[in-house]
Amino acid sequence: MAPHQRVLLPFPLVFLLLLLLVVPPRADAWGKEGHIMVCKIAEKYLSEKAAAAVQALLPESAGGELSTVCPWADTVRWHYHWASPLHYVNTPQVCNFKYSRDCHNSRGQQGMCVVGAINNYTDQLYSYGQKTSYNLTESLMFLAHFVGDVHQPLHVGFEDDEGGNTITVHWYRRKANLHHVWDVSIIDTAIKDFYNKSMDTMVETLKMNLTDGWSDDITHWENCENKHATCANDYAIESIHYSCNYAYKDVEQGITLGDDYFFTRYPIVEKRLAQAGIRLALILNRIFDGDKADDIPLRVQ
């Protein structure tokens, strides 16, 4: 091409490119990577029976790996419009979560939030092996995704700022919003700076931490006394506490977040990814390989 020749882009394309530069991306969930990592960890902790049931339910396209379908629920979020509120739950700007007060969609329908969804899809999966009208493949893909979501602190955030979506920030020099920082940016920065740009190396490190550094914590994470529903309620309570104590803490509109924020928050993100993986495995093991005490079908709260 001659040095002075310019490439003329059609106007709509120019407009789209400008829009991408000025409007921070609206975040939906742990990014694709977060969900894949949660499910890669869960796969390692599945019992033989649970792994066999998961294999039987996975779609052909999954290539036999649960982790490949874990971001799926985000890709159908706008197509399955009714499922959009099932990815999160918001509180009225308070640092506690109450199912009866908070778990509803914008039309006030009870149970239409991430905690209700986890209980509901768990309940559906209990019909595995029986005649059922549920599409259990979808139930599994939704469940695996939402267990990840409920562990992203800002998926249990404040209603006024939509879990940080309306809080505009800079992540280092890039424009972002606080929700996106927790879905994607902290993970991306960790992968780039600590794990040689490899998500698989990050997953291996998290798995290693689970067998040494965090090994004493696992029984505590797995502790789920509630035999009638999942412990998703407890996971949401933990998330709103992390939102208040870490995600929202010292953040205001327009702030630039850099090293200080990253170094104090990424340990929380890593812990939440690992917890989500362990707990997803726990739920699937209870469903597909539960002992008699765990055989009671789970009820939506």
**Which residues lie near ligand ADE (CB under 6 A)?**
87-88, 90, 154-155, 157, 162-163, 165
* Interaction mask 17-56, Zn ion, x per CB under 5 A: ----------x-x---------------------------
Count of residues in contact with Zn ion, rule CB under 5 A = 5
For residue 182, the partner it binds in ligand ADE, Zn ion, none, with Cβ less than 5 to 8 A by kind, is none
Among the listed residues 33, 102, 123, 149, the single contact to Zn ion using CB under 5 A: 149
What's the gap between Cα 235 and its chain centre?
A: 12
- By beta-carbon proximity to ligand ADE, the closer residue of 231 and 240 is 240
In the complex, the smallest distance separating the C-beta of residue 96 from ligand ADE, rounded to whole angstroms, is 15
Find the shortest distance in angstroms from Cβ 4 to ligand ADE.
47
Token pair listed for 199 = 């998500």
**Minimum separation from the CB atom of position 162 to ligand ADE (A):** 4
90 binds, among ligand ADE, Zn ion, none (CB under 5 to 8 A by kind): ligand ADE
Are the CB atoms for 29 and 148 separated by under 8 Å? yes
Please identify, using beta-carbon distances, which residue of 101 and 192 lies nearer to ligand ADE. Answer: 101
Question: What are the DSSP calls for the chain, one per residue?
Answer: --TT--PPPPHHHHHHHHHHHHSPPPP-SS-HHHHHHHHHHHHHT--HHHHHHHHHHS-GGGTT-GGGGTTHHHHTTTTSGGGGGGG-EEESS-S---HHHH-B-TT--BT-SHHHHHHHHHHHHTTTTS--SS-HHHHHHHHHHHHHHHHSGGGEEETTTTTTTT-EEEETTEEEEHHHIIIIIHHHHHHHHHSTT-HHHHHHHHHHHHHTTTHHHHHHHH----SSS-SHHHHHHHHHHHIIIIISTT--TT-EE-HHHHHHHHHHHHHHHHHHHHHHHHHHHHHHH--GGGGSPP---
Query: What residue 33 binds from ligand ADE, Zn ion, none (CB within 5 to 8 A, per partner kind)?
Result: none
Among 138, 183, 238, 270, binds Zn ion (CB under 5 A): 183
Q: Does 156 bind Zn ion (CB under 5 A)?
A: no
Residue number, 163 or 277, with CB nearest to ligand ADE: 163
Over the window 67 to 106, marking each residue x when it contacts Zn ion by CB under 5 A and - when it does not, the resulting string is --------------------x-------------------
Residue 144 binds which entry of Zn ion, ligand ADE, none, CB below 5-8 Å type-dependent: none
Starting at the edge strand that comes first in sequence, how are the strands of the sheet with 174-177 ordered?
Answer: 174-177, 168-171, 256-257
Neighbour tally for 62: CB within 10 Å: 18
Angle made by CA atoms 227, 233, 236, in degrees to the nearest 5: 150
Residue 162 touches which of Zn ion, ligand ADE, none (Cβ within 5-8 Å per kind)? ligand ADE
Please, what is the minimum distance in Å from the beta carbon of residue 84 to ligand ADE?
8
- The option from Zn ion, ligand ADE, none interacting with 183 (CB < 5 to 8 A, set by class) reads Zn ion
Q: Which is nearer to ligand ADE, 160 or 193 (CB)?
A: 160
Near Zn ion by CB under 5 A, which window of 126-134, 142-150, 263-271, 278-286?
142-150
Which of ligand ADE, Zn ion, none binds 238 (CB below 5-8 Å, type-dependent)?
none
* Identity of residue 22: V
